[in-house]
Structure 1
Amino acid sequence: MPHPRRTTLTRRGLLVAAGALAAGTTQAQGQGYPNRPLRLIVPFPPAGAADVMSRVVAEAARAAFGQNVVVENRSGGGGTIGTEAVMRSAPDGYTLLMANQSTHSVNPEIRENPGLDPVAMVPIASVGNVAQVLYVRPGLAARSVPELIALAKASPGQLTYGTAGIGTGGHLAMMLLEAHAGIELNHIPFRGTAPSTAAVLAGQVDMMIDTMPTALPHIENNAVRPIAVTTTTRHARLPQVPSLTEAGFNDYEAVLYYALYAPPGTPDGIAARLGEGFETTVAQPAVAQRLNEMGCDPLPVPRAGLGAHVAADRARWRAVIRRAGIRIT
Structure 2
Amino acid sequence: MQKFRRALIGSTLALMATGAWAQAAYPSRPITLVNPYAVGGPADLLGRALAKELGDVLGQSIIVENKAGGGASIGTAYVAKAASDGYTLLLGTAAAHTVTPLATKVPYDGIADFEFVGMVANVPNVLTVHPSVSAQNLKEFIALAKSQPGRLSYASAGMGSSPHIGAEMFKHAVGVDVVHVPYKGAAPAATDLVAGTAQVGFLNVSAVLPFIKANRLRALAYGGSKRSPDLPDVPTFAEAGIPRLETGSWYSLAVPAKTPAAVVDKLATALQAVQAKPEFKKLLAAQNAESLSQVKAQATDYVRADGKRLAELVRATAMKLQD
Question: What TM-score, normalized by structure 2, do the two folds share?
Answer: 0.90
Residue 207 (structure 2) pairs with residue 234 (structure 1): no
Q: Which moved more, 1:212-221 or 1:47-56?
A: 212-221
In the TM superposition, residue 29 of structure 1 has moved relative to its aligned partner by 4.7
Structure 2 partner of 1:326: 320
Q: Structure 2 CA distance, aligned partners of 1:198 and 1:205?
A: 9
In structure 2, what residue type is equivalent to 1:295? N
Which segments of 5 or more consecutive residues in structure 1 lack a partner in the other structure?
A: 5-22
- Distance, in Å, in 2 between the alignment partners of 1:175 and 1:327 is 10
**CA distance, structure 1, for counterparts of residue 18 and residue 247 of structure 2:** 43
2:70 counterpart of 1:115 = no
Partner secondary structure for residue 35 of structure 1: coil
Letter in structure 1 aligned against 2:283: R
> What is the distance in 1 between the residues matched to 2:143 and 2:17?
66
Distance in 2 between residues matched to 1:264 and 1:28, nearest whole Å: 22
* Matches of 1:177 and 1:26, distance apart in 2: 53
The answer to whether the 8 A contact 1:232-1:246 is kept is no
Q: Determine helix, strand or coil for the equivalent of 2:44.
A: helix
Secondary structure, aligned partner of 1:289: helix
Moved more, 248-257 or 295-304: 295-304
Would you say 1:314 and 2:307 are equivalent positions? Answer: yes
Change (3 A) 1:34 1:201: same
C-alpha separation in 1, matches of 2:60 and 2:41: 25
Residue 253 of structure 2 corresponds to 260
Number of the residue aligned with 2:274: 281
Note if contact 2:125-2:205 (Cα within 8 Å) is conserved in structure 1.
yes
Using the TM superposition, give the Cα deviation of residue 235 of structure 1 relative to its aligned residue in structure 2, in angstroms: 2.4
2:31 pairs, out of 22, 30, 38, with: 38
Q: Identity over aligned residues, as a percent? A: 32
Partner of 1:135: 128
Aligned to 2:147: 154
| CA RMSD in angstroms, aligned pairs only | 1.8
Aligned to 1:68: 61
In structure 2, the CA distance between the partners of 1:210 and 1:325, relative to structure 1 (3 Å rule), is closer
Instruction: Write out per-residue CA displacement over residues 195-220 of structure 1, whole angstroms, 9 at most, x where no aligned residue.
Output: 22122111121111110221212112
**SS in structure 2 of the partner of residue 77 of structure 1:** coil
Is residue 234–residue 241 contact of structure 1 (8 Å, CA) maintained in 2? yes
What secondary structure does 1:76 align onto? coil
Question: Larger Cα Rg: Structure 1 or Structure 2?
Answer: 1
**1:24 CA drift (Å):** 8.5
Letter in 1 for 2:280: V
Compute the TM-score of the two structures, normalised by the length of structure 1: 0.89
Per the alignment, residue 41 of structure 2 pairs with 48
Size of the aligned set, in residue pairs, is 307
Shift of 1:27: 5.6
8 A Cα contact 1:75 1:81, kept in partner = yes
Give the distance between the partners of 1:114 and 1:173, measured in 2 at CA. Answer: 23
Specify the alignment match of 1:202 in structure 2: 195
